[in-house]
Amino acid sequence: SAAAEELAALPLAAIGAGKALPLEGGLNPAWADWISKLRTAIVTPMFGDTATLSAGDWALISARFAAFEGWVAGKKGAAVEKLGLGRVREILASSTKESLTALIEKDKLLEQEANAIASVDKLVRYHRDLYTLLNNFASFQDFYSPGTKAIFQVGSLYIDGRSYDLCIKVDDIAKHSSMANLSQTYIAYCECRRNGDAEKMSIAAAFTDGTSDNLMVGRNGVFYDRKGNDWDATIVKIIDHPISIRQAFWSPYKQISKMVHDQIEKVAASHDKTVKDAASAGVSDTAHKAEAGQPAAAPPFDVGKFAGIFAAIGLAIGAIGTAIASVLTGFLNLSWWQMPLAVGGLLLLISGPSMVIAYFKLRKRNLAPI
């Protein structure tokens, strides 16, 4: 117990300057039994029936046992002592040594065959797996063959109404994404969970077709692994790259549409705030006048203000109408074969730069960093 260990760590007896060790009375209870055995076995035979042990007596005892300690330290064969002297002699007298030596020599005759087992095992594994390894990591035949999946494809991700088969298991998203960015591929990292949070894993899904308009961090999907188990998948990180030239063609128009939509929302929000502030100020002013006992005066109609607003709106509509009319007039004055060329030229002027950039990025798309 802890108390016994603490007691054993204390001195053998009460400490005093030049005082001999008592062999009876005043002893540490933890050592009393051992000191009694020491007195019976060593002290009494050497010094007679004495009740104390001086430092000189202890030095003499230590000197007497020094040779024995040296013999014990240098003794060999302790591993076979438990067999007993009779058994050891029996073994030495028998032919066991010769039998063991003969077996060893017999085994050495088959040394080459035994060493060849490892080579045969390696050859069998090469025969079984090398072809599969080359098809998956050298020629990528399994990856590009319809209806089959490569070893590194861990399953399929279903999200945004589409399925993606190029899904790779990832242990560290931060490290993988720093390298995967060089692939020039649109990649969504997803955290997958099943059975609550009992099982978790992370995957990197490559998007090679469609659009990314509805893909964002936090978007949920379903992932099916190679065994058919379903996982709840959530996008946690996205590496943005062009997905296709078709997406790049429509990208400028979507950006313009988004910009116009955002501006309309800002103007509407600003106007709504102005109206609310004006209404709040009017209500507050009316309340103050009512409290003062004065009838609330109706706000005067500012004809000049509204005339300016209507004039500005009219000028804007007129300018837009004039521009549209001039464009339509010029377009209708073209020959029939020039009209498609004009439309195509306008589309190329708007979408051409993004399509060219997407083309070069798609040409550099590389599977290796993924």
Residue 20 lies in a domain: yes
The span from the CA of 368 to the CA of 370, in Å, is: 5
- Name the residue type at position 305: K
Residue 228 lies in a domain: yes
Residue 321 lies in a domain: no
pTM flag (> 0.75): no
Contact yes or no for 358/242 (Cβ under 8 A): yes
DSSP E strand stretches across the chain: 21-22, 52-53, 155-159, 162-164, 167-170, 186-194, 199-207, 220-225, 230-239
Distances (CA, A) of 119 to 81, 126, 130: 43, 10, 15
Residue 24 lies in a domain: yes
Confidence (pLDDT) at 204: 92
Confidence (pLDDT) at 158: 93
Q: Among 74, 99, 117, which residue terminates a domain?
A: 74
Q: What is the mean pLDDT of each run of 10 residues along the chain (370 residues)?
A: 78 80 82 86 85 86 86 74 78 84 89 87 92 88 86 91 90 89 89 85 88 86 91 91 77 73 74 70 61 55 55 70 72 67 67 73 80
Residue 283 lies in a domain: no
Q: Find, among 188, 193, 190, the residue nearest to 202 by Cα.
A: 190
Residue 324 lies in a domain: no
> Looking at the 3D structure of the chain, how many domains does it have?
2
Q: Among 37, 54, 74, which residue terminates a domain?
A: 74
Residue 318 lies in a domain: no
* Range of the structural domain that residue 216 is part of: 151-243
Residue 65 lies in a domain: yes
Contact yes or no for 370/180 (Cβ under 8 A): yes
Contact yes or no for 217/238 (Cβ under 8 A): yes
Q: Among 227, 243, 259, which residue terminates a domain?
A: 243
